[in-house]
Structure 1
Amino acid sequence: MLILSLISDIKTYKIKNNIVYPFILAGLITNIYLDGLDGLMYSVKGIIIPIILLIVLFILRMLGAGDIKLFSAIGSIMGFEFTMYSIMYSFLAGGAIALLLIIFRKNGIKRLVYLFQYIKSCFLIKSILPYTSFEDKSDGAKFRFAFAVVGGVGINLYLILNT
């Protein structure tokens, strides 16, 4: 699922529903089969909690809906706790990727100016604005977050398997 999502994100800047929905369903069916009602709750918490936690980032246009659905698919299969750690490690990986891109693209000052203008605009109009437009791929600020999700899940699995 992660590889398919990454390929989709690379090609289209979107993680397609036809990739994540079958895995959400597979997680539900598998966990219900293995643990009955407890398995259902295990998957449902894993699906819903990422949506609740990450919806603000979607509203601000800082995270795409496909990324959130990908975390929900992970949650459906692996449960709430695994998914929360994966989200945390994914954001750390995303921060590292963003820092490397800023260094490589040499646009750190431009990005800071944009951030401060965004914050200033929000205060002036007393409303939270979308941070960026997903449609504008040329502003030097975006990267495919599926890379960070793959990294975050990988870190999480590594730590689980080596503790």
Structure 2
Amino acid sequence: MLLIVLVTILIVSLYTDIKSRRILNIITLPTIIIAFVFHTYTFGLSGLVFSSKGFLTGVGLLIIPFILGGLGAGDVKLMAAIGALMGTSFVFYSFIYTAIIGGMIGVFIILKTKGFRNSIKSLLINIALFRSNQGSLSISKVSEGKISFPYGIAIVLGTFCSLIWGG
């Protein structure tokens, strides 16, 4: 039953994140409630602890990127829902796969948009400015804007990897 719930929320979240760049509360919040109720009803206090630890791990893994503005709240809630549903170990491995996949997607997007060349140019300019200013580092203004993508894609793919290959 939990796998059906997990796969359903992953597919729906993937669709909504690609379509509207949002992971909906109507998906994540009921999943969190279902996870807590199911585990508590089935395993009692230890089930509540299991869901709580998974939930807190899911939140904890993405809270800093969220605070820094790199992720949306929906991404954090999706990871929290995965944790509450599947537990600490599962959400941790999902996060590892997610980070790897997210990094690969990010590198691909940078290379595709020629941002890599601009990043190297900015680095070289900073090194030259550092040398010319005798140790005081100036920040280059060579920036072409923010590159982003719906991170829910990486979360969903990372979670599927965790389902298939485990830890």
2:94·2:158 contact (CA, 8 Å) conserved in 1? yes
Q: Structure 1, unaligned stretches of length 5 or more?
A: 118-123, 125-137
1:141 to 144, 147, 152: 147
Aligned length: 141
2:58 to 50, 55, 64: 50
Matches within 5 A, 1:1-163: 1-111=9-119, 113=122, 139=145, 141-160=147-166
Once the two structures are superposed, residues 82-126 of structure 1 have per-residue CA deviations (whole angstroms, 9 ceiling, x without a partner) of 001101110100001111112222221335649x99xxxxxx9xx
1:111·1:141 contact (CA, 8 Å) conserved in 2? no
2:101·2:158 contact (CA, 8 Å) conserved in 1? yes
Give secondary structure in 2 for the equivalent of 1:142.
coil
2:54·2:80 contact (CA, 8 Å) conserved in 1? yes
RMSD: 2.4
Inter-partner Cα distance in structure 2 for 1:7 and 1:73:
17
